[in-house]
Amino acid sequence: MTSNYDIEKVRAEYIGKETPPVLGRYAAEHDPIRRYCHMVEDRNPLFLDAHYGEKSRYGATVCPPAGWLAMYFAGLGPWPPTIEPLLPIVPTPGRRFVNLVVETENFKPIKVGDRLSSKKRVADVYQKAIRLDPEAVWIVGETIISNQDDEVVCIVRNTYVVHRTLQEVAAAQAKMGKA
C-alpha cells in the first residue's frame, strides 16, 4: 500500500448514497440529437427527420436509445459550469478516471420535447489494482432518468476506474518508502 486510503470506510459511507434529483437544463431537442448522430454518421430518420418521426409509431422524433444522450438531456450540461458530479463525490486517492463499462436499460422512448430529470446512486465501490495504479478505485454508479410524467425512461450503469497519475503513484511510493 502506498497511501492510508481506507476502502472499507468508504464503502460503508458511500454505497447506496444518492444525489438529489436534477431537472435537465433543456428539453430534449433536435439539434443535440443531430450532432450526436453526426459523430457516428447515423442517418436514421427516426432520430433526424421530424416529419418522418411524426408518422412513426412514436408520433415524434425520438433520441437514439443511448444512455449518454439521455444523461445529457437529464443533466445540466457542460456550460454554464455547475457542480454536477458524475456521482456523489466518493473520495479516492486519484482524480483521473476512465469509464470501463456502460450498461443502458431502456424502458420508454425519449421524444423531442420531453423534460428529463435524473438522480444518481452509488451501487458499489471497491479497490483493484490496474497497470497504472496499484490502488485504483472502481465505482459502479447508476443514473435513473425519468420524464415529465415521472416514468423511468432508462437506467444507465457505469463502472469507472479512478486512478492516480504515474507521477502521483511514484511520489506516494517514495513517501511510503521513507516512512
Partner 1 sequence: MKSRQIYWEDIEVEEEIPGYDMEIDARRMVLQLSGSQDHYPIHFDRNFARAAGHEDVFMSSGFTEAALVRVITDWMGDEGWLRKLRLELRRQNRIGDTMVCKGRVASKYVQDGDHYVECEVWAENQREGITTPGRAWVILPSREGSQR
- Which residues sit at the interface with partner 1, rule CB under 8 A? 32, 35-46, 52, 56-57, 64-69, 72, 77-78, 96, 98-106, 131-132, 158, 163, 165-167
Separation of alpha carbons 99 and 159, rounded Å: 6
Contacts of 151 (CB under 8 A, 6+ apart): 107, 108
> Nearest distance from residue 20's CB to partner 1, in Å?
22
Identify the helix (H) or strand (E) that includes residue 35.
Answer: helix 30-39
Quote the cell numbers at residue 78. 457542460
How does DSSP classify residue 20?
P
Sheet strands (E) in 54-178 = 96-106, 117-127, 137-146, 152-163
> Nearest distance from residue 3's CB to partner 1, in Å?
17
| Of 32 and 88, CB closest to partner 1 | 32
> Nearest distance from residue 4's CB to partner 1, in Å?
23
| Of 122 and 162, CB closest to partner 1 | 162
| Of 62 and 90, CB closest to partner 1 | 62
> Nearest distance from residue 44's CB to partner 1, in Å?
6
| Of 6 and 54, CB closest to partner 1 | 54
Place of cell 436509445: 65
The two most distant CA atoms of the chain are separated, in Å, by 71
